[in-house]
Structure 1
Amino acid sequence: MTRDEIIEKIRKVEALFMGTDSPGEMQAALGALDRLNAQLAAAPQPVEEWQFSMHDPWKRQLFIALIRRHGLHPYRHPRQRSSTVMVRTTRAMVDQILWPQYLELSKILHDYLDEVTRDIIGRSVHADVSEAPEQANLPLS
């Protein structure tokens, strides 16, 4: 899968969340998403501090980019690990927008990185990239 193909796949996932895939409807959906974000900001729902822990650096980068895309600000408290991502927002924003998008996009990212890794290792190190099989106890000699 090429870089352009993965970017196109991400755009299609975003279009799914917006309920359309035609350019005009997508623009309208983006406007609707902006209005939804404005409603969420004006809604009486309390803003909470959310803490996420992501040890995979690529998935963490994706999540931080999604947070910023929605006009939010990721941060960490002093002495928190680099795997920690903090954000202040409403439960509705996390449950209805941020987390579902992250799950879909992280699956695409994981599949792409797995495919690329297997291809590179298979071409440059050894063609058999399968997992090591289980074996009964063998003598150590």
Structure 2
Amino acid sequence: MDYNEKLRKIEALFEGATTDGERKAAELAKHRVLARFQEELASNPIEFTVRLGDRWGKRLFVALCNKYGLRTYRYKHQKYTTTMVRVAESFMNEVLWPEFQRYSASLSEFVSTVTDDLISKIHEVEEDTIVSGKALPA
């Protein structure tokens, strides 16, 4: 079982907890798993360059990095949508990037739905505005 799956199960336990004791146990388990992440992160960090297509993707990636206590940065002259992060390769491949892709797909779907709704409202056609293929009168 990878770290991402462990965290999802722990978060599900936390959400489904009915008593304070269950919540506390789930929270402690999450802290133990995150502590193991931190140990792994400190052992073999690699600098990753993450180039994201838009500012929303970047904000999402930075938020996920913050969730795991990772510091993001960029070098002078790098584009705003480029983010650098030092992290263990296994953590990036097993936890951070899959979680980013999952949230990014949800974000894209949401933005697409809102955009389509807005465009349909802007381009709403009334019956009296339809013009036939004939030339307009002068």
Compute the TM-score of the two structures, normalised by the length of structure 1: 0.69
Q: State the Cα deviation string for residues 5-42 of structure 1 (Å, max 9, x = none).
A: xxxxxxxxx88852242323652442233222233135
Match of 1:57 among 55, 58, 62: 55
Write the mapping of 1:18-57 to structure 2, written as runs, cut at 5 A: 18-20=8-10, 21-23=12-14, 24=23, 26-43=26-43, 46-57=44-55
Structure 2 unaligned residues grouped into runs of 5+: 15-22, 126-138
Q: Does the 8 Å contact 1:49/1:88 carry over to 2?
A: yes
Q: One-letter code of the match for 1:69?
A: K
- Aligned with 1:121 (options 102, 119, 122): 119
Map 1:1-141 → 2, pairs under 5 A: 17-20=7-10, 21-23=12-14, 24=23, 26-43=26-43, 46-126=44-124
| TM-score under structure 2 length normalisation | 0.70
Per the TM alignment, residue 103 of structure 1 is displaced from its structure 2 partner at its CA by 0.5
Is the contact between residue 7 and residue 33 of structure 2 (CA under 8 Å) also seen in structure 1? no
For structure 1, the residue ranges without an aligned partner over 5 or more in a row are 1-13, 128-141
In structure 2, the CA distance between the partners of 1:29 and 1:125, relative to structure 1 (3 Å rule), is: farther
SS at match of 1:19: helix
Structure 2 CA distance for aligned equivalents of residues 111 and 26 of structure 1:
31
- Match of 2:49, SS state, is strand
Identity %: 24
Largest Rg, 1 or 2? 2
The structure-2 alpha-carbon separation of the partners of 1:107 and 1:29, relative to structure 1 and needing over 3 Å to count, comes to farther
Listed one character per residue, the Cα deviations across residues 51-93 of structure 1 (whole Å, up to 9, x for unaligned) are 0111221111100111111111111111111121101111012
* Count of aligned pairs: 112
Structure 1 ranges of 4+ moved more than 3 A: 14-17
Query: Which structure: greater helix fraction?
Result: 2
RMSD: 2.3
